[in-house]
Amino acid sequence: MSTDRIRFAAVLFVVAVGACHFDDSFQIDASVDPGRPGAEFREACTEQAAGSCGYLARCYTYYFEQGWPDLATCIDRRMLGCQLRASDPDASRDDDSIRACALPADFPCSSDPAYEAASAELRERCPDTGGDLPNGTECQSPAACASGICTKDDHADRCGTCRPDPCAACTEDQRCLHYVDDTVTCITVQEDGASCTEGLTCTSTYCKDFVCASPPDEGEACEPVDGRCEASAQVALFCNASTLRCERVALLKAGENCEASASGAVACGGGSSCLPHGGTMTCVDPAADGAACFASQGLGCLWPAQCIDGFCRFQVSRSSCSQD
């Protein structure tokens, strides 16, 4: 074992022990060069990132605010993700193909009648083409696989394996259920008003009194046993067990107490996670690039950085999959 490997093992042991509590007295000063991508594809990827982040902020407000602290961070991180996919030597990407897939500023939301036509036009100029790697090959990103599927068996794995699309056998009117044992079931879904025995057979995923229906919306009565409320792109709802009404989920900032998250009343926003910290449950920001991370304890990295060997790093090539 090399000196570097011994040093890493020692650091990781200390990290693993301290990660159980995340109290204020626990700090890891060690850091590494995260390997941030260079200038290649940056301009084209920035255009694509700006389009997707703007669309997310405009059409899926709740999910944007839950996942990102602000628009600038979203654009920067999505730009990095785009660069990493494009720089994979096994992926078929260049500046022109990246720009062709950028969403225009006026791209309609999914609730807009013009959405379907706009999506068809986007698919025409931005085909979903995979890379050159066959199934069974080690991969760094989905863009490298001919199937477009690159999966990891464990969160600690540096890279995944190219695998066939498990849902290819399902038709457009079916819901694909992919289980952990890698088996797949294709379920034909029904619209509201059709008979049902479980929510998975309904387009709305909600089965009430053996009939497919829309879940109750904000302010409407809900059932505490079922707990379902209408999902929305703009707000998130939960069933208040006291009022038996659907109410809005409050998004919290990093550092705020999230003890009530188990009831569904609150959720951490801005990309933070609800973790034990200082003796209570607190919204904690992801670890910074190059800083120590504790994936097994819930403290991960800000995407697209990955927790590799105990530190938040970027993977820029398939050659980095193999450990030295």
**pLDDT recorded at residue 317:** 53
Closest CA to 92 of 64, 53, 133, 54: 133
- Give the whole-number percent of the chain exceeding pLDDT 90: 43
**pLDDT recorded at residue 11:** 31
Q: Which residues of 161-176 are buried (b: 16+ CB within 10 A; e: fewer)?
A: bbbebbeeebeeeebe
Q: Which helix H or strand E contains 42, and what residues bound it?
A: helix 42-59
| 20, pLDDT greater than 50 | no
Give the Cα separation of 96 and 41 in Å (integer).
Answer: 10
**pLDDT recorded at residue 178:** 84
Q: Which two tokens stand for residue 168?
A: 């290819």
**pLDDT recorded at residue 180:** 76
Closest CA to 226 of 241, 204, 236: 241
**pLDDT recorded at residue 15:** 33
| 238, pLDDT greater than 60 | yes
Q: Give the mean pLDDT of 256-280.
A: 89
**pLDDT recorded at residue 154:** 66
**pLDDT recorded at residue 245:** 92
Which residues are registered as beta bridge partners of 187? 175
Q: Give the mean pLDDT of 155-173.
A: 81
Please count the CA atoms within 13 angstroms of the CA of 255 that sit on its side-chain side: 0
The pTM (predicted TM-score) of the whole model is 0.76
Q: What is the pLDDT of residues 170-225, one digit of tens each?
A: 988 889 988 877 788 999 999 999 999 888 899 888 888 899 998 999 999 988 77
One DSSP character per residue, 171-191 reads -TTEEEEE-TTS-EEEEE-B-
**pLDDT recorded at residue 21:** 43
| 161, pLDDT greater than 60 | yes
Per-residue pLDDT band at 119 (split at 50, 70, 90): very high
Average pLDDT, the chain: 83
**pLDDT recorded at residue 288:** 94
Residues 6+ apart with CB under 8 A from 185: 176, 177, 179
Q: Which of 9-18, 27-36, 217-226, 239-248 has the lowest mean pLDDT?
A: 9-18
Q: What is the pLDDT of residues 217-228, one digit of tens each?
A: 999 998 877 778
